[in-house]
Amino acid sequence: MSRIDRVYEKRGKTAFIAFTVAGDPDEATSLRVAKALIDGGTDILEFGVPFSDPVADGPVIQRADERALAAGTNPDTIFRLVKAVREYSDIPIVFLTYYNIVHKRGIDRFYREAREAGVDGILVADMPVEESAGVMVAAERYGIDPIFLVTQTTSDERIDRIAKKARGYLYLVAVLGVTGVRDQVSSEALELLSRVRKHTDLPLALGFGISLPDHAKTCTEANADGVIVGSAIVSIIERNLGSPESMERELKEYVAQMKAAIHCAIRE
């Protein structure tokens, strides 16, 4: 059983998935961020691989990508960072990346090095399921869960196609548009959760726009198997760039608050 599968072994539990851009604002601080998120109670750690054109991301995460790239972050940096996290914790680690990064490194090499570092799942944000054959071969070869996005505009036919290839969990995009904090979880997001559930028994995690304890509670009560938070976490990093100690403290407190909201919610 994979590390990700172990998180979802008891399906009455909603997992908290924390996203941070690897190497933001630099390698050493990024490791401190990862450890703070883990210490706060994160169930799955999602590293964004910094990219110069992150089309799925809003301005907060774009700025984090820019900081990481300016610090010299590259795949070697990221694999080294994963190894350091793996020495600290057995937490499942997922990459969110873009296809150009994988292709430039070489698909087989990227997945092999990811496995050697301790990565459990990879989501290639701009890769359609119809063009995923090469990645699927490498994912199978190295025992890495291929994770796919499902959006509100994804047809039932494509959901079936995606669900047949995906492992670990499906990443359900809660909003139309890019990443970023929103005021509330939309009814459309909850409808997407219900619609996708009819097609698969894979765990379903909602992301994009989720930032508040009330959001986590709403998603949990709608039977989401996971809640993914990125921009709110990256915002904490951004406003504490001059004080790593404050950054760590706020991150731990934030994760604890989100986890408390999940635990207090009653799943149907």
How far is residue 79's CA from residue 126's CA, in Å, rounded to a whole number? 21
Structure token digits, residue 8: 């979802």
Is there a catalytic annotation at residue 46? yes
User: Helices 231-239 & 59-70, crossing angle to 10 degrees?
Assistant: 50
Which residue type, as a one-letter code, is found at position 29? Answer: T
- Helix, strand, coil share of the chain (percent; to 5): 50, 15, 35
Which residue type, as a one-letter code, is found at position 244? Answer: P
Tell me which of 24, 43, 46, 113 is the catalytic residue.
46
Q: Closest by alpha carbon to 75, among 121, 27, 4?
A: 27
Tell me which of 24, 27, 57, 65 is the catalytic residue.
57
Is there a catalytic annotation at residue 160? no
Pairing assessment for the beta strands 226-229 and 204-207 based on DSSP bridges: parallel
Is 16 within 8 Å of 259 (Cβ atoms)? Answer: yes
The residues assigned a catalytic role are: 46, 57
